[in-house]
């Protein structure tokens, strides 16, 4: 690991051990608090990718992915927050007029607008949309990341973005599966107050940026796998049953060590690769998410009944790996994109 | 070989399903899951409707399957008030049956089974709870973990060591009925389970609990055998839980697939997912019913029972993961995500899948050495 990257990862690790580990159950149960977001912002974690002239750190892709992974080892929810701000919210605002004050508020943790994640349905049709007109907005947004604030940032047609601050007409929570810190909900708006940010240029909207998250989600999945396996390996070393340590049993040791090997190989691929082509990004994402699910499932199994309890910090990885898979992507649409790239023609559509 | 349930069972199955569809409302299922609250009113209603009909074991099997199909948390909550009752049925005295079994079958009381300990897991022979005989009573000391109905049951079947230094690990254990109102008995409800949150789970603490001699179940020293006999029964009902969960997931996957429109429904990835789940459910059901047939004809087959338990549990996990995987967000906005969280415990409780596999192979090797096939 390059020296500078190592320092950044150590900073994440130290921060998580100090601020996240003791609050992880509270985060799972109640979501982010403004205090926690402020602490994350104080460390500069919400402006990792923003250029230095705009107050950000402007770190490399490789360093950024390593940091996302390290956050996910401790809390996939925190990692997803950092990814959402750095890879979606700030890039979408950066290229639009009148957003500089909002950007500063975001990177200082004073406000984190939610964004809808309903972009990756299998048949390629976004399930949500907004119509903005003279600072009023109407429409339904599905699976918004809550973050503890009511404001929502969403595509509003014609390449514009709307920051919706008005109360929704209806609201339903989807906060049971995983990444619970993000407090997902759906909301219907009717003439709700909003601020529109326009652009004359052809720049990416939120839905476009969502399709670009393959490497970031691969890094988070890698962190979930590492977090799951670390806990399982530690437990297997100390827990006895039938008069032997768990590690002594082949059905425990073999799957854990095989998964560890898969994790190491994926890590090498993700962190020492250089430039990624589109298909290589998708390879990483698809393989990493499957690995995260398998590692988390095996970790629960290794822990037995204790793995099913939130206190041991393992069950969240199982839920979060599935949430990462379905809420920050869609396997079928990803496989279709990958098939198209590999076959260099429309494929995998029947 | 008849693969049909028969008219009476089909009628009963329909009754149970209709009850669940009517009373397992999404509001109740969600609230019980969110608040980790046992649905006591629903239990009373199920008793009124005679949903758990113990007149024949096939009815219980079918009820477990149908209730879990509609909602695993609520379904299991209604089927576990009788948990451990088979130990009393098979090995209890008439006095114990009258005092502790009858009020449970009538729905007046709830019981539980306390075997697992904090350091034990599936290793039943490793338990440390002690039962010392003194002045015509047994004094119990120890801790039990992951006990279903732990903070709501009126009494428990408790496995404890009556011989602290047995010649073999599984010797010297006995089973007692312990009332939760006995002095020295306390429980801590376990909160923060990933799934089956409508069910009550607790840690039990036994601190110098005096248990009358007549509360010894069967013979002293035969506790391990009694509990293993019980597991050969209960594992079949866990398999039925797995069938119910997997079938419930398939029901929802089929329904949501249609709702997504024909373009979605015609994708072969979706069609293959449905086919794979349905095939596994069918295979698991055949295995479970075969295990049940052996058991209900009083010739239990531990290998088939463990195959059924391990496989049906695996199918439940597979189905819920697969359905979420192919559905994406529509699966999360419905209740499949709850089935996903609920299903994983099946591979752990009543003997982990790893333990079931050991039972399968050991039984097969024993059969081989005895000249069987």
**What's the ipTM?**
0.95
C-alpha closest to that of B163 among B89, B112, B121, B219: B219
C-alpha closest to that of A74 among A264, A183, A180, A227: A227
Task: Give the pLDDT confidence score for residue B11 in this predicted structure.
Answer: 96
DSSP, collapsed to helix, strand or coil, labels residue B314 as: helix
Task: Give the pLDDT confidence score for residue A1 in this predicted structure.
Answer: 57
All residues at 6 or more sequence positions from B254 whose CB lies less than 8 Å from its CB, including other chains = B274
CA–CA dist B339, B318 (Å, integer): 11
Task: Give the pLDDT confidence score for residue B73 in this predicted structure.
Answer: 98
Task: Give the pLDDT confidence score for residue B373 in this predicted structure.
Answer: 58
Helix orientation angle between A61-74 and A214-238, rounded to the nearest 10 degrees:
40
Let me know: does B344 contact B195? Beta carbons within 8 Å: yes
Mean pLDDT of A175-194: 92
C-alpha closest to that of A126 among A146, A144, A142, A106: A142
**Backbone phi, psi, residue B302, to 5°:** -55, -35
Cβ–Cβ of B341/A177 closer than 8 Å? yes
Task: Give the pLDDT confidence score for residue A122 in this predicted structure.
Answer: 47
Let me know: does B72 contact B338? Beta carbons within 8 Å: yes
The segment with the largest mean pLDDT, out of A1-15, A202-216, B182-196, is B182-196
Mean pLDDT of A71-80: 98
Q: What is the pLDDT along chain B (373 residues), one digit of tens a residue?
A: 788 899 999 999 999 999 999 999 999 999 999 999 999 999 999 999 999 998 899 999 999 999 999 999 999 999 999 999 999 999 999 999 999 999 999 999 999 999 999 987 778 989 999 999 999 999 999 999 999 999 999 999 999 999 989 989 899 999 999 999 999 999 999 999 999 999 999 999 999 999 999 999 999 999 999 999 999 999 999 999 999 999 999 999 999 999 999 999 999 999 999 999 999 999 999 999 999 999 999 999 999 999 999 999 999 999 999 999 999 988 888 899 999 999 999 999 999 999 999 999 999 999 999 886 5
Distance of alpha carbon B111 from the chain centroid: 13
Which residue of chain A has the CA closest to B194? A308
pLDDT averaged over every residue in chain A: 92
What is the torsion angle, in degrees rounded to the nearest 10, for the CA atoms of residue A262, residue A282, residue A327 and residue A226?
20
- Burial, B205: exposed, middle or buried (Cβ in 10 Å; 0-12, 13-18, 19+)? middle
CA–CA dist B288, B311 (Å, integer): 9
DSSP, collapsed to helix, strand or coil, labels residue A75 as: coil
Cβ–Cβ of A309/B194 closer than 8 Å? yes
Which residue of chain B has the CA closest to A323? B332
CA–CA dist B324, A184 (Å, integer): 17
Which structure tokens are listed for A320?
């979060």
CA–CA dist A185, A163 (Å, integer): 16
Cβ of A194: how many Cβ atoms within 10 Å?
Answer: 26
pLDDT-derived band of residue A125, with 50, 70 and 90 as boundaries?
Answer: very low
Residues in chain A closer than 8 A to B357 (CB atoms): 251
Cβ–Cβ of B123/A122 closer than 8 Å? no
Which structure tokens are listed for B94?
């008439």
Which residue of chain B has the CA closest to A29? B192
Task: Give the pLDDT confidence score for residue A129 in this predicted structure.
Answer: 67
Q: How far is CA B12 from CA B63, B64, B80, B204, in A?
A: 8, 12, 19, 36
All residues at 6 or more sequence positions from A298 whose CB lies less than 8 Å from its CB, including other chains = A228, A229, A232, A255, A256, A259
C-alpha closest to that of A75 among A121, A19, A148: A19
Task: Give the pLDDT confidence score for residue A265 in this predicted structure.
Answer: 98
C-alpha closest to that of B187 among B155, B160, B211: B155
CA–CA dist B4, A332 (Å, integer): 38
CA–CA dist B115, B168 (Å, integer): 18
pLDDT-derived band of residue A158, with 50, 70 and 90 as boundaries?
Answer: confident
Whether B350 is catalytic: yes
DSSP, collapsed to helix, strand or coil, labels residue A312 as: helix
Let me know: does B357 contact A251? Beta carbons within 8 Å: yes
DSSP B193: B
Cβ of B141: how many Cβ atoms within 10 Å?
Answer: 16
Which residue of chain A has the CA closest to B350? A305
Let me know: does A72 contact A224? Beta carbons within 8 Å: yes
Phi-psi region of A190 (alpha: psi -120 to 50; beta: other; left: phi over 0): beta
CA–CA dist A33, A312 (Å, integer): 22
Least confident of A81-85, A124-128, B136-140, B351-355: A124-128
Q: Does the pLDDT of residue A126 top 90, yes or no? A: no
Which structure tokens are listed for B163?
């011989």
- Whole-model pTM over 0.90: yes
CA–CA dist B239, B62 (Å, integer): 11
Let me know: does B139 contact B132? Beta carbons within 8 Å: yes
Q: Please, which residues bridge with residue B217 across strands?
A: B175
DSSP, collapsed to helix, strand or coil, labels residue B118 as: coil
Out of B65, B66, B347, B350, pick the active-site residue.
B350
B70 in reach of chain A (CB within 8 A): no
DSSP, collapsed to helix, strand or coil, labels residue B139 as: strand
Share of chain A above pLDDT 70, in %: 96
CA–CA dist B76, B98 (Å, integer): 25
Which structure tokens are listed for B326?
């192919």
pLDDT-derived band of residue A159, with 50, 70 and 90 as boundaries?
Answer: confident
Mutate to test the interface with B, among A326, A328, A338 (most CBs of B within 10 A): A326
Residues in chain B closer than 8 A to A253 (CB atoms): none
Cβ–Cβ of B317/A297 closer than 8 Å? yes
Task: Give the pLDDT confidence score for residue A133 in this predicted structure.
Answer: 81
CA–CA dist A176, B255 (Å, integer): 21
CA–CA dist B192, A293 (Å, integer): 21
Task: Give the pLDDT confidence score for residue B209 in this predicted structure.
Answer: 98
Chain A nearest C-alpha distance from B33 (Å): 9
B337 in reach of chain A (CB within 8 A): yes
């Amino acid at each position: 690991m390059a020296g500078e990257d190592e320092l950044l990862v150590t900073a994440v690790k130290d921060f998580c051990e100090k601020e996240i580990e003791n609050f992880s159950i509270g985060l799972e149960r109640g979501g982010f608090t403004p205090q926690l977001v402020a602490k994350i912002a104080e460390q500069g974690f919400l402006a990792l990718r923003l250029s230095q002239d705009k107050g950000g750190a402007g770190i490399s892709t490789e360093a950024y992915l390593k940091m996302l992974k390290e956050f996910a080892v401790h809390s996939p929810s925190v990692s997803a927050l950092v990814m959402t701000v750095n890879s979606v919210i700030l890039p979408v605002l950066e290229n639009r007029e009148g957003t500089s004050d909002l950007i500063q508020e975001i990177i200082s943790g004073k406000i984190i607008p939610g964004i809808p994640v309903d972009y990756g349905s299998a048949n390629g049709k976004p399930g949500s949309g907004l119509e903005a007109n003279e600072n009023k907005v109407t429409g339904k947004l599905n699976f918004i990341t809550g973050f503890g604030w009511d404001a929502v940032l969403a595509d509003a047609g014609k390449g514009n973005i709307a920051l919706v601050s008005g109360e929704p007409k209806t609201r339903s929570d989807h906060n049971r599966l995983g990444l619970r810190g993000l407090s997902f909900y759906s909301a219907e708006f009717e003439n709700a107050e909003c601020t529109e940010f326009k652009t004359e240029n052809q720049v990416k909207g939120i839905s476009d940026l969502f399709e670009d998250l393959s490497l970031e989600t691969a890094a988070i999945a890698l962190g979930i796998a590492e977090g799951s396996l670390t806990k399982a390996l530690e437990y297997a070393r100390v827990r006895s049953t039938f008069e032997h340590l768990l590690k002594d049993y082949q059905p425990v040791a073999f799957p854990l060590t095989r998964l560890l090997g898969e994790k190491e190989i994926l890590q090498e691929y993700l962190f020492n690769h250089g430039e990624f082509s589109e298909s290589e990004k998708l390879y990483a994402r698809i393989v990493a998410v499957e690995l995260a699910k398998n590692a988390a499932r095996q970790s629960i199994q290794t822990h037995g009944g204790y793995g099913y309890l939130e206190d041991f910090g393992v069950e969240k990885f199982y839920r979060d790996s599935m949430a990462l898979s379905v809420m920050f992507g869609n396997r079928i649409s990803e496989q279709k994109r990958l098939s198209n790239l590999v076959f260099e023609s429309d494929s995998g559509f029947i | 070989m008849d693969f049909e349930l028969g008219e009476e069972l089909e009628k009963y199955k329909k009754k149970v399903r209709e009850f669940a569809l009517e009373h397992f409302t999404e509001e109740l299922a969600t609230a019980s899951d969110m608040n980790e609250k046992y649905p006591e009113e629903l239990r009373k209603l199920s008793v009124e409707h005679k949903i758990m009909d113990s007149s024949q074991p096939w009815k219980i099997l079918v009820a477990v399957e149908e209730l879990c199909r509609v909602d695993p948390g609520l379904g299991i909550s209604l089927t576990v008030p009788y948990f451990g009752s088979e130990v009393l049925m098979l090995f209890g005295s008439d006095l114990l049956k009258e005092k502790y079994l009858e009020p449970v079958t009538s729905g007046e009381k709830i019981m539980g089974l306390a075997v697992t300990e904090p350091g034990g897991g599936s290793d039943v022979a490793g338990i440390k709870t002690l039962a010392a005989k003194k002045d015509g009573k047994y004094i119990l000391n120890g801790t039990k973990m992951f006990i279903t109905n732990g903070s709501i049951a009126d009494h428990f079947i408790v496995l404890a060591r009556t011989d602290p230094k047995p010649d073999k690990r599984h010797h010297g254990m006995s089973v007692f009925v312990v009332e939760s109102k006995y002095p020295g008995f306390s429980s801590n409800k376990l909160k923060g389970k990933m799934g089956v949150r409508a069910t009550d789970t607790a840690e039990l603490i036994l601190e110098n609990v005096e248990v009358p001699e007549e509360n010894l179940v069967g013979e002293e020293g035969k506790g391990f055998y009694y509990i293993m006999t019980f597991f050969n029964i209960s594992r079949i009902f866990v398999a039925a839980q797995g069938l119910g969960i997997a079938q419930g997931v398939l029901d929802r996957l089929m329904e949501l697939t249609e709702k997504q429109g024909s373009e979605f429904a015609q994708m072969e990835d979706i069609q293959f997912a449905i086919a794979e789940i349905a095939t596994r459910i069918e295979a698991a059901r055949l295995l479970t019913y075969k295990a049940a047939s052996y058991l209900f004809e009083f010739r239990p087959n531990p290998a088939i029972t463990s195959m059924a338990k391990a496989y049906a549990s695996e199918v439940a996990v597979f189905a819920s993961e697969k359905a979420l995987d192919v559905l994406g967000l529509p699966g999360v906005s419905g209740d499949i995500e709850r089935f996903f969280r609920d299903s994983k415990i099946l591979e752990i409780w009543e003997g982990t899948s790893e333990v079931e596999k050991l039972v399968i192979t050991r039984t097969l090797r024993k059969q081989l050495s005895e000249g069987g096939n």
